[in-house]
Amino acid sequence: MIRSENRAAHELRTVSFEIGVAPHAAGSVLVAFGNTRVICAAMVEDSVPRWMKEQGVTGGWITAEYSMLPYSTLSRKPRDITKGRPDGRGTEIQRLIGRSLRAAVDLEALGSRTLWVDCDVLQADGGTRTAAITGATVAMHVACQRLLVEGKVKRLPMRQRVAAVSVGIVAGEVLVDLDYAEDKEASVDLNLVLTEAGEFVEVQGSGEEATFSADQLAAMLDAGRAGVAELLDLQAAALGI
């Protein structure tokens, strides 16, 4: 099959990071995976959630919020506030983003403060959650560097970066970084989040009215690991590290 950008099966879409798009944030980036574009912004609050104080938990906290803007899809997507309830998919994704980012940070080094990371999808063409995680890591890294430069922390709270990619089986073939058209046709859908050390943070996989074998799973994991390694290199280049 012919993929967008005439990509090979294991090739990522064109990925870019534009740092500093939200000047009031401690760290921000516009991340693009092909036609999927997400603004990720990190802001620092000098307090921690109430439950941490009540339970005597030391260190800081990281929490994420995710939303798709009304004009991010072909037909207008109503805002959650107009529906009177949060979107279940959005809630699940922002929890995934939060878990992924906390795996990247030394919360003790962060101190008694909260990093809020907002991920707003400007344009959706598949892989919004993986783009959000990959971009949010960059925004958070910039915010943590700023805390260090300003003398608010003694050492860089970032332990390691994380990145995420989608993998799927379409017409029997393993594809990496699926766009929307491919995602619709996928019989198996997998999202991987990994660290710089190559360790898994999260694996989300399911068959879409289909099953998959252990060999197919292994092939998807191998392809996904290679894709994440490339994303981590692109993050490093954007951050100049």
Instruction: Return the pLDDT at 70.
Output: 86
Could you report the per-residue pLDDT of 47-77, keeping only the tens digit for each?
999 999 999 999 999 999 999 888 898 888 8
Q: Residue 97: which H helix or E strand, with range?
A: helix 88-102
pLDDT in tens, 103-119: 999 999 999 999 999 99
pLDDT at 3: 93
- How many contiguous H segments (helices) and E segments (strands) does the chain have? 7, 9
Helix segments in 103-209, DSSP class H:
107-110, 128-149, 180-185
Residues of the chain with pLDDT under 50: none
Amino acid 84: pLDDT: 65
Nearest Cα neighbor of 128 from 38, 199, 193 is 38
Residue 152: CB atoms within 10 A of its CB come to 14
pLDDT at 208: 84
pLDDT of residue 85: 67
Architecture of the structural domain at 4-239: 2-Layer Sandwich (3.30)
Structure tokens belonging to residue 26 = 């401690």
pTM: 0.94
